[in-house]
A and B are shown apart, each in its own frame.
Chain A
Amino acid sequence: MGISRELKVYNRFGELIVHLRFVPGDSLPLRIEDGTPELQNAVRSLVGHDFDQTVVIEKQRRRFQAAWGSPEYLDALAGYWSSNFGWRTRIVEMSPGWASPQMKGTFDLNSMFKITCTEGLLNYAQAQNNCLHNFVDAQFSETATVSGWQGWQRDEDVYSAYLGGLFDSPTRAVSFYHFQPKNALKFMSCTNLSVGYGVNQGTAIIRLKEHNPKQAPIFAEKNAEAWAA
């Protein structure tokens, strides 16, 4: 199974006007997750058809084409919408089993931070007493002492969180306890953390994981960066 992708489109007011998901190999590879009535109607009219639209900007023609069912369909749509109407578009690649791209932001140790989901659910993660605990996934049962977060970096949809700290024990993953009222997801896990015993540097890539795979994925909104700064 290939990687699913999602496209979000925002109007001039920053409002989400359409949210599409491409699911490779599915009988309906392009799904409408959300959108205004106008754009839902627009996308429904495309079902089953190759995409072929031209935009003329300053006398230059740009043609956006993609075969129905191809992963490039979202790119063609995004290109058309952004160039013809000036809407902001965001495509998110999703690895199987993971609900979101990396989460980033700056915050102080022991500070509260929250992640706002597309569904409006709030999730809170708290670093308590310099310890990050995993309460959920038995695979990641180690605890790690983190001395401090280093600066978040954002590159469009990709956020990088850097952990600096001294870890108590060897670990290949550091997990964050993640409690949230609506119980939409259970934990955030950090991967790509290469540390050994006593090594104090690592790169944490924080990801959200679906609690219930049947639910829609959770995404980090940009305001997570705003309040974390």
Chain B
Amino acid sequence: MEKETFLRPANERELNSTYTKIERSRLGARLQILRTDSTRVESQLLEGTVDGNKLTYFVAFYTDTAEPILEQDLERWLCDNKKLKGNPSNRSRVAYRVRFVIRRQFQHEGLAKEIFPREEDFFRRWGAHEVQTDAMDLGRWAWTRSQFGYESEQFVFENLQQQYRDWQRSKGSSEIVRAKNLSDFPREFLLSNEVSSLSLFKEL
């Protein structure tokens, strides 16, 4: 299968421009040095995986002095037959956010807020029903903020609830509280060793 066939009704040019046409003026001061014409997008198509055919792509961003903005390249998978988290009886096109770690000095400058909507527009054009991710490190806190619109399956949420309860007990809390939704779990809990990673999804 060719990449262009896999990406229909979207195409590779649209994929590239998702990341190369970022509006620098919408970013914070420290990212005004982002050099969009240095942004590099590389992709590879794998056929016959457990999630159907899969396009994996990597994006690298640089400053005007060729300094990388990310710890490692941003990585995304587009899978054409992956199990849906929101409707586990079904499989469909799914975009999977594998990795997005901004170097410390460029954090909190609005890069995620700028990229994510652009990505999701592209994912929708491609026909993805969901975006999925396994949040790790700081992402366990960051991606559970309501502004990013992620939710978790009940299985994941209830497991978290159990661990949260036990964590509160271990800290000697006099009153054990339950989280009503994902964003209720405190930062200290999510970023501790209580949970290695968090499976999240968002319907498009």
Contact = CB atoms under 8 A, between A and B. Distances in A.
Nearest to A49: B88
B114 to A, nearest CB: 25
B44 interface: no
Contact of A45 (B155, B166, B194): B155
A55 B134 CA distance: 7
B148 to A, nearest CB: 18
B89 interface: yes
Contacts of A36: 162, 165
A52 B83 contact: yes
Contact of A42 (B50, B155, B169, B170): B155
Nearest to B193: A86
Contact of A81 (B159, B166, B169): B159
Which DSSP category, helix, strand, loop or mixed, fits chain A's interface?
mixed
B33 to A, nearest CB: 27
Contact of A11 (B153, B156, B166): B166
B157 to A, nearest CB: 8
Interface in A55-70: 55-57, 59, 61, 65
B197 A45 contact: no
A13 interface: yes
B158 interface: yes
B81 interface: no
B159 A42 contact: yes
A79 to B, nearest CB: 12
Contact of B197 (A11, A17, A42, A56): A56
A196 B132 CA distance: 64
A85 B163 contact: yes
A50 B196 contact: no
Given A49-B89, A54-B134, A84-B196, A38 B161 contact: yes
A85 B194 contact: yes
A144 to B, nearest CB: 47
A45 B153 contact: yes
A17 B159 CA distance: 10
Contacts of A59: 136
A181 to B, nearest CB: 33
Interface of B: 50, 83, 88-89, 134, 136, 153-156, 158-159, 161-163, 165-166, 169-170, 193-197, 199
